[in-house]
Amino acid sequence: MGRMLDNLRDYSGSGLLFVLLLISIVFLGFRVKRGAVKTMTVYLPIFVLAVFFCPLWGIYMGQENDGEILYRILWMIPAAVIVCYALIEAIHMVPEKFKAVSFVTAVLIVIVSGKYIYASPFFSKAENCYHVPQVVVDICDDIRVEGREVRACFPIEHIQYVRQYTPYVCLSYGRTVLLGNGFNQYSNVEQFLDEETIDTAGLVEELRRVDNHYLILESDRKMTEDLNKYGYIFIKTYDKYSLYLDEQAYLGTEYR
Amino acid sequence: MILRVVLFIAIFICVTAIIGNNLKREDEGPLMSLVYGLIVSWALAFAVGVPLIIMKKPLSLMRLILVVLYALLFATGVFSLVKRKRCNKDRGQITPFKSSEMIYLGLFLGIVAFQLYKTIFYAYADGDDAFYVAAARVAEASDKMYLTDAYLGTPSEILYRYALAPFPMWEAVLAQASGIQTTLLAHLILPPVLIVVTYIVYNEIGKLLFGVESREKRFMFLTLTAVFELFSNVSTSTSGTFLLTRARQGKEALACIILPLLFYELFRLVKAEGDITVKDFFVLLSTVLAASLSSLLGNILTSIMLAGAVLWMIIRKKRFKNMVIISAPVLISIMTVLLYIKLR
């Protein structure tokens, strides 16, 4: 039950929309006469809530490691439909001359209970039609070799975009490092990048172990030694990032 | 490129709507054709895609089979459209809109237009795209399905948790067929279409709630739902947040189109006192298959909803035969889950 409550907290979040949904179900329970509308707007949500709080989910959570996604059971209640239907019913309970005012009040209730989606910091003006940072597009276009794949090490803020844009650029570490689920078995590159001052020798050794060709770092990134000393040649600067190529890397198209 | 994108959108919407025309019922609005077209194409993508993925067949084979099936359904859709046009020559005129109806409709369309503007011109950084969009992009370029680690690019065993819900492969098929890169398709073209489709479903639910004639109430309702979605970011888990931030992932399709459509279908079923027509059955079947394509959990959620419908039919003492018909699509969901348990 405790983990289902965690799921409920994840779903209902910081606003009052879930409370509004519960109030709407209760209101419609009293307001709507028996029939199809009541079945769908009152009984079905109650059925879904009963399923959500069913103790049997505990067995699932005990066996699977993704119990945190069970909030999705609540998607079976079309919250927007139920709440807005209840609000429309409430609006039509007040006299006709106050309809416009009550509609505005209903809109305000939703606004106050919720949270504006476009205020999210994850939204930004699209830099191109791919909705991928332009610097990623530019670097990927420049390092791509026709007829083969190349491997690159990008800063962590860009790893989620690279392979969305091109599958011809492979990564020396991927998004699994952010998920913390123990699936990051490919390389330890990210551990070196995580340090305030990067251990150049250690990073280069790890990059070579996974056949990495290119390294992209913030230009002002502190390192114990110059990358050039270890055979990584500076190629070009992109905005605040520098691109390096491992001079030992083979970028031909013939199999060796 | 712009011309190709515009052409693709026009063809995609027309073909999808005509395919969906096969399932549209007489009492539904014409826009529902688009909804059913999408649902049918997702259902077929699941039915064709999953066996091919398990057999490690190339994406191009899935594309070929789907194109043939879509072409067949397109032909039958054209036929049913022509037939319907002939039968409905003397259709009644639409009553002129009252000023209050115009105001609420205008408000609703304005809010939706704003949402579409934000969807097209603003990027949302969602980490899950690193898997779903990349998996589709890899398949589009390599012609292999789920045989490469989407995050890294290294060869990989099939992860059945994802491979049994191959929504990204449907996107990859569209990309291969159109020549438009998956990234562009997933971030720029599909989101506006999927958002509009959600509101089409809400509109039909509105008709069931208020009656077809009560347009003012319905438009008020739609305006409120658009505001509701706009302010649904109380957490990253609400269906509204998924609608306006992730309208390119299977989970979004499940939360914002498939489950609301299933709600609508069950609403119709309850209104019809449990009677079910052949078209109703195929809509239910397609919806369940589409849910399977979108997410592994979709199998469980659709089964629970249909179980709820059967429970209602038992309580209301409806015909046993209809209960069996309604339950039948769930077999596919159960088989998918069992397959996952066996293969993982």
Q: Where are the alpha helices (DSSP H) in B122-166?
A: 129-142, 160-163
Range of the domain at A196: 134-246
Within a domain: B11: yes
Within a domain: A252: no
Within a domain: A127: no
Looking at the complex, report in whole angstroms how far the Cα of residue A90 sits from the nearest Cα belonging to chain B: 12
Average pLDDT over residues B107-113: 98
Within a domain: A256: no
Tell me which of A51, A86, A119 is where a domain ends.
Answer: A119
Number of structural domains in chain B: 1
The token pair that represents B165 in the structure block? 């819900």
Within a domain: A12: yes
pLDDT higher than 90, residue B22:
yes
Within a domain: B91: no
Average pLDDT over residues A34-40: 94
pLDDT higher than 90, residue A1:
no
Chain A residue numbers with beta carbons less than 8 Å from the beta carbon of B205 are 78, 81
pLDDT for the residue B236: 92
Nearest to A75 among B122, B142, B301 (CB): B301
Residue A223 DSSP label: B
Q: In terms of domains, do A142 and A94 share one?
A: no
Phi and psi, residue A94, nearest 5°: -85, 155
Phi-psi region of B200 (alpha: psi -120 to 50; beta: other; left: phi over 0): alpha
Q: In terms of domains, do A114 and A151 share one?
A: no
Cβ-defined contact of A167 to B142 (cutoff 8 Å) = yes
pLDDT for the residue A181: 58
Q: Residue-wise over B218-254: b if at least 16 C-beta within 10 A, else e? A: bbbbbbbbbbbbbbbbbbebbbbbbbbbbbbbbbbbb
Q: Is B298 exposed, middle or buried (0-12, 13-18, 19+ CB in 10 A)?
A: buried
ipTM of the complex: 0.94
Q: In terms of domains, do A195 and A228 share one?
A: yes
Within a domain: A128: no
Across chain B, mean pLDDT equals: 95
Q: What is the rounded CA–CA span in Å between residue A240 and residue B292? A: 44
Chain centre to alpha carbon of residue A50: 29
Q: In terms of domains, do A8 and A115 share one?
A: yes
Within a domain: B156: yes
What single string gives the DSSP state of each residue in A112-177?
HHSB-GGG-TTEEE-SSTT-S-HHHHHHHHHH--TTS-EEEE--GGGHHHHHHH-TTEEESS-THH
Within a domain: B87: no
Range of the domain at B167: 2-81+98-343
Instruction: Kindly report the pTM of this predicted structure.
Output: 0.95
Q: In terms of domains, do A72 and A18 share one?
A: yes
Q: In terms of domains, do A96 and A166 share one?
A: no
Q: In terms of domains, do A10 and A40 share one?
A: yes
Q: In terms of domains, do A34 and A138 share one?
A: no
Cβ-defined contact of A118 to B121 (cutoff 8 Å) = no
Within a domain: B302: yes
Q: In terms of domains, do A152 and A223 share one?
A: yes
Chain B residue numbers with beta carbons less than 8 Å from the beta carbon of A48 are 304, 308
pLDDT for the residue B50: 97
Average pLDDT over residues B54-59: 97
Within a domain: A99: yes
Looking at the complex, report in whole angstroms how far the Cα of residue A7 sits from the nearest Cα belonging to chain B: 9
Tell me which of A90, A119, A148 is where a domain ends.
Answer: A119
Cβ-defined contact of B254 to A170 (cutoff 8 Å) = no
The token pair that represents B199 in the structure block? 């509101």
Number of structural domains in chain A: 2
CB atoms within 10 A of CB B74: 18
pLDDT for the residue A113: 95
Q: What is the rounded CA–CA span in Å between residue A179 and residue A181? A: 5
Question: Best residue in B224, B251, B311 to probe A by mutation, most A CBs within 10 Å?
Answer: B224
Cβ-defined contact of A175 to B127 (cutoff 8 Å) = yes
Average pLDDT over residues B159-167: 95
Chain A residue numbers with beta carbons less than 8 Å from the beta carbon of B241 are 117
Within a domain: A91: yes
Minimum CA–CA partner of A111 in chain B: B231
Read off the amino acid at residue B26: E
Query: Tokens 């579409």 map to which residue?
Result: B116
Within a domain: B89: no
Within a domain: A254: no
Q: In terms of domains, do A12 and A110 share one?
A: yes
Chain A residue numbers with beta carbons less than 8 Å from the beta carbon of B186 are 164
Nearest to B133 among A16, A110, A164 (CB): A164
Within a domain: B288: yes
pLDDT for the residue A107: 97
CB atoms within 10 A of CB A68: 12
pLDDT for the residue B344: 85
A20-24, B85-89, B253-257 — which is least confidently predicted? B85-89
Confidence of residue A64 (pLDDT cuts 50, 70, 90): confident
Q: How many CB pairs under 8 A join A and B?
A: 241
